[in-house]
Amino acid sequence: MENFIYSNPVKILFGKGMISKIGKEASSLGKKALLVYGRESIKRNGVYDSIAESLSKFSIEFHEHPGVKPNPVISHVREGIKKARERNCDFIIAAGGGSVIDEAKAIAAGAKYQGDPWDFFCGKAKIESALPLITVLTLPATGSEMNSGFVVTNEQTLQKYSAGSVHSFPRTSILDPQTTFSLPEVQTSYGASDAAAHLLEGYLTTNDKDSEITDNYVFAVFKTIISSSRRILSDKNDYNARASMMWSATLALNGQQALGYKGISFPNHAIEHSLSAIYDMPHGLGLAIVIPAYMRHNIEKISGRLEKLGENVFHVSKSAKDAISAYESWLRKDLNLKTRLSENGISKDDIPKIAENAFGLAAMWGMGISKKEIEEILNRAF
């Protein structure tokens, strides 16, 4: 078990009706907010009104920055920074899924930086401060509500890159599982695939194979993602399943999922980000395509980890191959995701281009994976 430093300052308000507390939470942060959101869903499901009502009780004014895309883009981040500056916003509120929260984190940091916000992503600048951020999560998946990282796409260069800083933790995150009742089925699937992927990246890439408490934590959260998504897909109004799913997705990437692991990396994310950047593919779907291929490609190197995963999560006896099959079968049969590139309309001829893009990110993240290896994985994913 490797040494670690862990600290997570995010205050979580979880449950029914918790959005009504946002005014009080915000009242210590200032008088003017920038409300960042996506499209109309937060207006349809009542989240927008709950936020507005609670803020008005504390005389907090807010300006709006709608239109965040599922893979948020840097041009829209720049617009948000401009608004936050022009309107002298004291803090940011993000209402939506991981994309909205990620863009809000970028705006919060960018508003305090004189250069271009892409500098944070390409390694040209470090985040030294940020406006405070409150999030209202409506889609369990990315864990962004309780961590300090964020991902944005540069639509000019087709790079989907990440940034992060201790200043980028939300102050408070509000998770009301009721807000997820109206999600389309496919979003539950993408979210479950995404959250599971966060567990798998650390679990499969650690060089330290003896962090038993963290392995067991990973299995516990993974099993809950499987059982909760199954319940949700059979009854979309199952509150307790929605609640367990929502909290599981947070626990899958709030730092605890890799404590004691050593030298971990995110190879599947590096590859998936290129699919999102080039094809605007949903992140959870992209991961469902890449990870089974990554597992098959690395089966010998990680057979022990796969066997343990299979036994503890999928109840298949000691076989790495069966573990991969069980995982892919969960993605295909339970979540109804198409786990091959070919099934998602991507041409085999594109593979070198995708690999080229992914290699750029992998190199920036300092991962020892070659372009050739990425191509091999993508060929397996075809």
Question: Which residues of the chain form contacts with its own copies (CB under 8 A)?
Answer: 1-18, 177, 210-214, 216-217, 219-221, 223-224, 227-228, 239-241, 243-244, 247-248, 251, 259-260
Least distance in Å: CB of 174 to its own copies? 10
Nearer to its own copies, 117 or 170 (CB): 170
Nearer to its own copies, 43 or 166 (CB): 166
Q: What is the 3-state secondary structure (H, E, C) of 138-206?
A: CCCCCCHHHCCEEEEEECCCCEEEEEECHHHCCCEEEECHHHHCCCCHHHHHHHHHHHHHHHHHHHHHC
Phi-psi region of 27 (alpha: psi -120 to 50; beta: other; left: phi over 0): alpha
Least distance in Å: CB of 137 to its own copies? 14
Nearer to its own copies, 5 or 317 (CB): 5
Least distance in Å: CB of 92 to its own copies? 19
Tokens read off for 274: 């290129």
Nearer to its own copies, 69 or 209 (CB): 209
The sign of the torsion formed by the CA atoms of 364, 370, 372, 376 equals negative
Helical H segments across 21-73, by residue range: 22-27, 41-44, 47-57
Nearer to its own copies, 9 or 352 (CB): 9
Least distance in Å: CB of 217 to its own copies? 5
Nearer to its own copies, 159 or 193 (CB): 193
Least distance in Å: CB of 284 to its own copies? 19
List Cα–Cα distances, 19 to 8, 82, 295, 309, in angstroms. 21, 27, 40, 37
Nearer to its own copies, 217 or 279 (CB): 217
- Cα separation, 149 vs 162, whole angstroms: 7
Which H/E stretch holds residue 107?
A: helix 98-110
303 contact partners, CB below 8 Å, separation of at least 6: 320
Least distance in Å: CB of 210 to its own copies? 4
Least distance in Å: CB of 25 to its own copies? 10
Give the rounded distance of the alpha carbon of 136 from its chain centre: 15
